[in-house]
Structure 1
Amino acid sequence: MLSRLFSAVRCSVTRHTQESPFIVRVTRKAEAEPQEQYRPGGYHPISIGDVFNERYCVVEQIGWSFYSTVWHVEDFLTQSRAAMKVIASRITKNKAGWDERGCMIALRDQNPQAPGHGHICQLFDTFMVDGPNGRHICLIIEIMGPTVLDIYCCSPRSGFKFLPLFLVKRISQHVLLALQYMHETCNIVHTDIKGNDIFMTGIPSTPVLPEMLEITDHAFKTTTFKLGDFSKASRMSNRRVKLIQPTTLRAPEVLVGAEWDVKADIFNLGCLIYELVCHVPLFNPEWNKEKTGFDAPQTHLAQMIALLGKFPQSLLTKGTATENYFDSEGNLLKGSGEYKMTLHKLLSCTPYSWKELTSMVDFLSKALIIDPVERWSASQLLAHPWLQDVH
Structure 2
Amino acid sequence: MVDNPNETPSEPAPSETVSTPQPTAASEGIKGAEGGKEPEKVEKLQDDTAPQQDATSEDDEEGKAAYRPGGFHPVYIGDIFNDRYKVLNKIGYGLYSTVWLVKDLQATVGGDASNVYRALKVLRANCYGHGTDTFEREILRCLRDGSREHPGYPYVCHLIDDFEHQGPNGTHVCFIFELMGETLRTFGPWFPLNDMIPYEIMHRFTIQLVLALWYAHDHGVIHTGMSGTLACTINLMASVKAYQSSQIDIKPNNIFVKFRDYSFIESGYLKEIPVPQQDREETEYRPVPSQPLRWFYFDYNAKYSADFDVTLGDWGVSSWTTKHLTEVIQPVALRAPEVIIGAPWDASTDWWNFGAVLLEVFRCIRMFDGGVPQDGHYEPREHLIEINDLFGPFPKKLLEKGNQDLLRDLFDDEGRIKGAEPLNRPGLMSEAFTPGMGRSLREYFVSFMNLLMKIDPEERPSALDLLRHPFLGAVQ
Q: Above 0.5 in TM-score?
A: yes
Q: Which protein is richer in helix relative to its size? A: 1
Shift of 1:207: 3.5
Among 323, 328, 342, the residue aligned to 1:243:
328
* Contact preservation (8 Å) 2:371, 2:382: yes
1:299 alignment partner in structure 2: 382
Deviation at 1:340, TM superposition (A): 5.1
Give the partner amino acid of 2:215.
Y
Match of 2:76 in 1: 47
Asked if the contact 1:257–1:322 (Cα under 8 Å) also holds between the matched residues in 2, the reply is no
Structure 2 SS opposite 1:149: helix
Preserved contact between residue 162 and residue 350 of structure 1 (Cα < 8 Å): no
User: 8 Å contact 1:253–1:315 — kept in the other structure?
Assistant: yes
Aligned to 2:400: 317
Matched, 1:186 2:240: no
Q: 1:224 to 1:331 in 2, by over 3 A?
A: closer
CA contact (8 A) 1:21 1:217 kept: no
Shift in alpha-carbon separation, 1:129–1:147, aligned structure 2, 3 A = same
TM-superposed CA distance for 1:242, in Å, is 1.6
Question: Partners in 2 of 1:39 and 1:219 — Cα distance?
Answer: 46
- 1:280 aligned to 2:304? no
Q: Which amino acid aligns with 1:319?
A: G
Q: Secondary structure at the match of 1:298?
A: helix
Name the structure 1 match of 2:12. Answer: none
* Secondary structure, aligned partner of 1:325: coil
Counterpart CA distance in 2 for 1:61 and 1:174 is 28
Deviations 1:173-224 (A, max 9, x none): 11111001001x2111111112211111124523334664554797562122
- Decide which moves more: 313-322 or 204-213: 204-213
1:85 alignment partner in structure 2? 121
Aligned residue type for 1:162: M
For the residues of structure 2 that align with 1:376 and 1:271, how far apart are their CA atoms? 15
* Distance of 2:342 and 2:316 partners within structure 1: 22
- What's 1:261 paired with? 346
Describe how 1:103-114 pairs up with structure 2 within 5 A.
103-114=139-150
Task: State the Cα distance separating 1:23 from its structure 2 match.
Answer: 2.0
Give the one of 204, 210, 220 matched to 1:176: 210
Q: 2:51 aligns with which of 13, 27, 41?
A: 27
- Structure 1 residue 76 corresponds to structure 2 residue 105: yes
Q: CA deviation at 1:111?
A: 0.8
Describe the shift of the 1:312–1:72 C-alpha distance in structure 2 as closer, same or farther (beyond 3 A).
same
Structure 1, residues 83-123: CA drift from partner, whole Å, max 9, x if none?
Answer: 11110011123466551000000000111221111000110
Cα distance change of structure 1 residues 127 and 20 upon mapping to structure 2, 3 Å threshold: closer
| Relative contact order, higher structure (CA 8 A, sep 6+) | 2
Structure 1 residue 261: Cα displacement: 1.0
Give ranges in structure 1 of 5+ residues lacking alignment.
1-17
176, 179, 193: which one pairs with 1:143? 179
CA RMSD, aligned part only?
A: 2.6
Q: Counterpart of 1:319 in 2: which secondary structure?
A: coil
Q: CA deviation at 1:388?
A: 2.3
Number of equivalenced pairs: 368
Kindly report which structure 2 residues correspond to 1:219-234, keeping only aligned pairs within 5 A, or say none: 221-234=306-319
In 2, distance between residues paired with 1:346 and 1:257? Answer: 33
Taking the aligned partners of 1:378 and 1:20, their CA distance within structure 2 comes to 30
Structure 2 residue 232 is matched with structure 1 residue 198: no
Which whole-Å CA distance do the structure 2 matches of 1:325 and 1:346 have between them? 32
Take 1:220 and 1:325, find their aligned partners in 2: how far apart are those partners? 51
Query: Could you tell me how far 1:170 is from its partner in structure 2?
Result: 1.6
Q: Which amino acid aligns with 2:439?
A: W
* Cα distance change of structure 1 residues 63 and 337 upon mapping to structure 2, 3 Å threshold: same
Q: Normalization by structure 1: what TM-score?
A: 0.86
Measure the CA separation in 2 of the matches of 1:102 and 1:109. 11
Contact 1:307/1:340, CA 8 A, preserved across alignment:
no
Q: Give the letter for the 1:249 counterpart.
A: L
The residue type equivalent to 1:191 in the other structure is T
Q: Relative to structure 1, is the Cα distance of residues 36 and 268 closer, same or farther in structure 2, using a 3 angstrom cutoff? A: same
Is contact 1:72-1:83 (8 Å) kept?
Answer: yes
Alpha-carbon contact 1:251-1:267 (below 8 Å) kept: yes
Distance in 2 separating the partners of 1:262 and 1:280: 25
Alignment partner, residue 367 of structure 1: 452
CA distance in 1, matches of 2:305, 2:27: 14
1:338 deviates by: 4.1
